[in-house]
Amino acid sequence: MSWHETDVLVVGYGGAGAVAAIAAHDAGAKVAVLEKLESGGGATRLSSGGIFIPGGPEFADYLYSLSLGRMPKDVLDTFVRYNVDLEEYFASIGVAVSHWGGNSQEVSVSYPPLGAPSWPKVHGGKLIRVHATAADEEAIPPEMWEKMTNNERVFHIGRTYGIDLWLQLKACVEARGIPVFYNTRAMELIMEKGVVTGVAAVKDGQEVFCKAKRGVVMTTGGFAGSVRMKETYLTCPFEYLGTNDYCTGDGHFMCQKAGARNWHMNAVCGQVGFKAPEFEQAFQPRAVSEAFVWVDRAGRRYTNETVEKLHNAWRKVSLFDPEGLTEDRAWPRIPVYMVFDETMRRKAPISRDWRANKDYSWSLDNMEEIKRGWIKQGETLEELAKATGMEPKILKTTIADFNRYCREGADAEFGRDPKTMKPIDSGPFYALPLVPALISTQGGPEHDKDARVIGRDGQPIPRLYAAGELSSVIGWLYEAGVGHAESTVFARLAGENAAKEAPR
């Protein structure tokens, strides 16, 4: 057993942990960080790295409505007040950023290829990103710099912007000489008469006790890697998409044991993805032609495919039908199928290489994935229905109706824009199964506008702070680019406020 003593102890070394450590250090405190893995970065490192900055305080109203009125307004107001100045804050701690498109409305994502992007629909906002070193950027033609999408960047230098955000934050922590203890898993908060005084952790199988004279900041990320928590809090089964099994909700358990109350444990950000048995992470699908539909397990369309939002596409798929229990159709939309024809099959890969599965290169003509049995195939729609378990009659009617809507120039069922529709009529026919795929969880120990963790009695638990995905302020519907913004804002406040506590 060994002891370590510091002023502010930060638990978890992802983006929020790094910012909390920097903020506490810059406010004059002695700081140490515990990280359970052998290197830091967490989801921050894996992410796309887009950071949204709103144009003004009204963004708080927008977030309030996305939370269905569940989030305390003062917490959102505080978030937005600091969010507006985030670019300047990054500069002040040593992180260089650049703009990603001039206005949030112009920012596009590649998926769904025909649909609306999922970035905030508010006026006057901007999206920023953190760049790599000049050496990395040499691989990118200068004329592409400002306009480059995430996909193009992955193509040119093999990565998105998340890792660069992480590398810059890490460099800022190192420049300040803040010690980081790797392979050190925090297990429990140490309490004395209701006050948090430190953390009990395990390092290389040995117990370690860390005393925090001013406060503890929890930044352990989400719970996407905990099967038990997912089953308990979420309404449908999820695969991973870019998340990882290290997100086991450790911080949630620690805070709960210390008396914290939780908020919005059912709020998540998730897409739909293709899960191959050989890979842990789901692949992100893309429709590369207008000749496609999404159908349920019976073969019925259920949505205007082109307006599904990137970060909330799982929602319609999660429909539960208790009547279906007896025939194994309780989730009639898990999986849903992207149905397409030979023209689209030949055109381009129907999945981009997702970074978590980056060792796998999806074949250009999709033939390898057909051979592997990932993409189901049928010479006719009847055969395709047989191969997938859909009802042949229903699937045939669905496709016949869709093809008619294409000819008539109006989607009578879901109002899909005719410019995004082409008949699915040249066999063979194909179907890619898609299931809910989790990116991040938002629920966790509630915190107030000062990032103080709230106990069951509604009062802050003395000297305990939380930030980041462990305790997100996104209370129901996720918006792109807000994850990093809120992690940074509340990590900053947590670090600064913990540093202000009188030492014990």
Ligand X SMILES: Cc1cc2nc3c(=O)[nH]c(=O)nc-3n(C[C@H](O)[C@H](O)[C@H](O)COP(=O)(O)OP(=O)(O)OC[C@H]3O[C@@H](n4cnc5c(N)ncnc54)[C@H](O)[C@@H]3O)c2cc1C
Q: At 149, which amino acid appears?
A: T
- The H or E element that residue 146 is part of is none
State the alpha helices, DSSP H only, in 312-377.
314-317, 342-347, 367-371
For residues 13 and 294, which CB has a smaller minimum distance to ligand X in the complex? Answer: 13
For residues 15 and 115, which CB has a smaller minimum distance to ligand X in the complex? Answer: 15
Residue pair 158/140 in contact by the 8 Å Cβ criterion: no
- To the nearest whole angstrom, how small is the minimum distance from the Cβ of residue 55 to ligand X? 17
- To the nearest whole angstrom, how small is the minimum distance from the Cβ of residue 372 to ligand X? 24
- To the nearest whole angstrom, how small is the minimum distance from the Cβ of residue 57 to ligand X? 20
For residues 243 and 420, which CB has a smaller minimum distance to ligand X in the complex? Answer: 243
Question: 192: exposed, middle or buried (C-beta count within 10 Å: 0-12, 13-18, 19+)?
Answer: exposed
CA end-to-end span of the chain = 22
- Report CA 384 to chain centroid distance, whole Å: 33
For residues 248 and 303, which CB has a smaller minimum distance to ligand X in the complex? Answer: 248
Point out which residues bind ligand X (CB under 6 A). Answer: 11-17, 34-37, 40, 42-44, 46-51, 185-186, 219-221, 242-243, 246, 250-251, 439-440, 468-470, 481-484, 487
For residues 245 and 379, which CB has a smaller minimum distance to ligand X in the complex? Answer: 245
For residues 271 and 398, which CB has a smaller minimum distance to ligand X in the complex? Answer: 271
For residues 250 and 341, which CB has a smaller minimum distance to ligand X in the complex? Answer: 250
Q: Which residue is nearest to ligand X (CB)?
A: 14
Kindly report the backbone phi and psi dihedral angles of residue 24, in degrees, each rounded to the nearest multiple of 5, phi listed first: -65, -40
For residues 138 and 152, which CB has a smaller minimum distance to ligand X in the complex? Answer: 152
CA distances from 287 to 85, 340, 343, 350, 409 (A): 37, 9, 12, 6, 20
Q: Which residue has the tokens 């592409």?
A: 144
For residues 3 and 409, which CB has a smaller minimum distance to ligand X in the complex? Answer: 3
For residues 169 and 295, which CB has a smaller minimum distance to ligand X in the complex? Answer: 169
- To the nearest whole angstrom, how small is the minimum distance from the Cβ of residue 294 to ligand X? 22
The residues near 204 (Cβ < 8 Å, ≥ 6 apart) are: 183
Please tell me whether residue 292 adopts helix, strand or coil conformation: strand
Please tell me whether residue 155 adopts helix, strand or coil conformation: helix
Query: CA 198, 200, 201, 205 torsion: positive or negative?
Result: positive
DSSP 345: H
- To the nearest whole angstrom, how small is the minimum distance from the Cβ of residue 161 to ligand X? 7
The residues near 453 (Cβ < 8 Å, ≥ 6 apart) are: 218, 255, 258, 260, 445, 446, 447, 460, 461, 464, 465, 466, 471
DSSP 455: B
Residue pair 166/149 in contact by the 8 Å Cβ criterion: no
- To the nearest whole angstrom, how small is the minimum distance from the Cβ of residue 379 to ligand X? 37
- Closest listed residue to residue 242, CA positions, set 283, 286, 274: 283
DSSP 370: H
For residues 37 and 400, which CB has a smaller minimum distance to ligand X in the complex? Answer: 37
- To the nearest whole angstrom, how small is the minimum distance from the Cβ of residue 166 to ligand X? 8
- To the nearest whole angstrom, how small is the minimum distance from the Cβ of residue 117 to ligand X? 12
Residue pair 221/42 in contact by the 8 Å Cβ criterion: yes
Residue pair 173/180 in contact by the 8 Å Cβ criterion: yes
- To the nearest whole angstrom, how small is the minimum distance from the Cβ of residue 486 to ligand X? 8
For residues 417 and 450, which CB has a smaller minimum distance to ligand X in the complex? Answer: 450
- To the nearest whole angstrom, how small is the minimum distance from the Cβ of residue 375 to ligand X? 23
- To the nearest whole angstrom, how small is the minimum distance from the Cβ of residue 94 to ligand X? 18
Residue pair 382/396 in contact by the 8 Å Cβ criterion: yes
Question: 177: exposed, middle or buried (C-beta count within 10 Å: 0-12, 13-18, 19+)?
Answer: exposed
Can you tell me the distance from the alpha carbon of 463 to that of 478, in angstroms, rounded to the nearest whole number?
Answer: 29
Structure-block tokens of residue 199: 């953390």
- To the nearest whole angstrom, how small is the minimum distance from the Cβ of residue 374 to ligand X? 21
